[in-house]
Amino acid sequence: MNAFVQLSPSPAWANKIVGPYKGLPFHDYLHASPPRRQRTLTGPIDPAQGSLWRRFQVFAAVEPEQQFSEQAQSGLLSKLPLDIRMIIYEMVLGGMIFHLNAQDRRSRILHHVCARPETINDPTHQCHELATKRPSSNPREEYREATGLLPLLVTCRLIYSEAIETLYRANTFEFTQNFAAFRFLRLLIPPQRLHDIRHFRMRMRVPHHPSINSRSRRDWTDLFSFFSTEMNGLQSLFLALDPNQPMKAHILETADDDGVEWVKPMVLMAVDANRKRACKVEIVTEGVIHALNTIFKDTADENKTASYDYILERACATVHKRIRLSLSAHG
């Protein structure tokens, strides 16, 4: 690829062509501009405009400073205090694990509520297949009736404004596709909703070792910076790494002290997020869970008089060792 760039009449064009092959697959998503929001709505919503899903999209554009009707005719809104209403919203909208996927990069991302949440940490957990039909809570324009998450949210703007954060804060979002996960996080939901997500799980396919070239190293660092700074409401992050065979071989052939650099962004993010908001970060390889916060704490306890940099290096080497051993145990 370097030879192709050097021999090309236009190095800038050549770099653009080979760039995706040199970096990691989430590069473009991480550096994409966030979605634009519509400006403040004017006037009430006409019920004839369309489906519940259309109304949900319109409500999502409401500006924080907008005024809402007091809804005096509603017993829920006029008689119950806000803290009781919030409990009701969480009972209705919370406590679920959403499996999200898409058939391809341009398809709509669909959700499926996990039917076996008690086995979510099992390596063989599988309660669903790739969705091929739109869920009932995400209806088409021609499907006016729906059950699920949307009906409560689109009842009125006031309920939407009170309840929408619960949808993100009180549930777990789980992905098995890189493109679906990062399209959802960077292009589909408003940036402020990133801060509301508390629990995120992902099976992440890694096409090559993050340290194979400078762009991949930057992408890997940017990924964990994104989790740390933009998803800054996270309380748990669960990443199941799915490396290809060359990456596995690279890890197996690397001494643990030499593998510190690619592990360090993961550990730094875990330490920072745990310090700021008690976030729990777990990396999984071949079904083995590596609790990064626990590994760092144990290393610090074993080296009480050592410097922070030394403890960080030792913790990263330990994480690399655990990853290497998990890969070697599975051939």
Comparing CA positions, the residue from 105, 238, 119, 227 lying closest to residue 173 is 238
Q: What is the pLDDT of residues 52-105, one digit of tens each?
A: 444 455 455 555 545 555 666 676 777 888 899 899 999 999 999 999 999 888
Q: Which two tokens stand for residue 48?
A: 């004839």
| CB neighbourhood size of 200 (10 A) | 21
Q: Is 258 helix (H, G, I), strand (E, B) or coil?
A: helix
Identify whether the C-beta of residue 317 lies closer than 8 Å to the C-beta of residue 310: no
For residue 316, the model assigns a pLDDT of 99
Q: Domain coordinates of the chain in residue numbers? A: 73-125+146-171, 198-330
Identify whether the C-beta of residue 281 lies closer than 8 Å to the C-beta of residue 237: yes
Comparing CA positions, the residue from 187, 155, 122 lying closest to residue 52 is 155
Identify whether the C-beta of residue 191 lies closer than 8 Å to the C-beta of residue 232: no
User: Average pLDDT in the 3-20 region?
Assistant: 64
Identify whether the C-beta of residue 186 lies closer than 8 Å to the C-beta of residue 30: yes
| CB neighbourhood size of 294 (10 A) | 16
Q: What is the pLDDT of residues 260-313, one digit of tens each?
A: 999 999 999 999 999 999 999 999 999 999 999 999 999 999 999 999 999 999
CA 314 to the chain's CA centroid: 28
Identify whether the C-beta of residue 316 lies closer than 8 Å to the C-beta of residue 269: no
Sign, CA dihedral 310-311-316-317, equals positive
How far apart are the C-alpha atoms of 179 and 32, rounded to whole Å?
A: 13
Comparing CA positions, the residue from 182, 215, 180, 214 lying closest to residue 20 is 215
CA distances from 106 to 128, 179, 187, 269, 274 (A): 21, 9, 12, 31, 35
DSSP-derived pairing of the beta strands 97-101 and 110-113? antiparallel
Identify whether the C-beta of residue 201 lies closer than 8 Å to the C-beta of residue 174: yes
* Of 99-113, 219-233, 237-251, minimum mean pLDDT range: 99-113
For residue 123, the model assigns a pLDDT of 63
Q: Is 138 helix (H, G, I), strand (E, B) or coil?
A: coil
Q: Is the pTM of this model over 0.85?
A: no
DSSP-derived pairing of the beta strands 172-175 and 97-101? parallel
Q: What is the pLDDT of residues 267-276, one digit of tens each?
A: 999 999 999 9
Across 146-269, the runs of DSSP E, i.e. the strands, are: 172-175, 199-206, 236-243
Identify whether the C-beta of residue 189 lies closer than 8 Å to the C-beta of residue 114: no
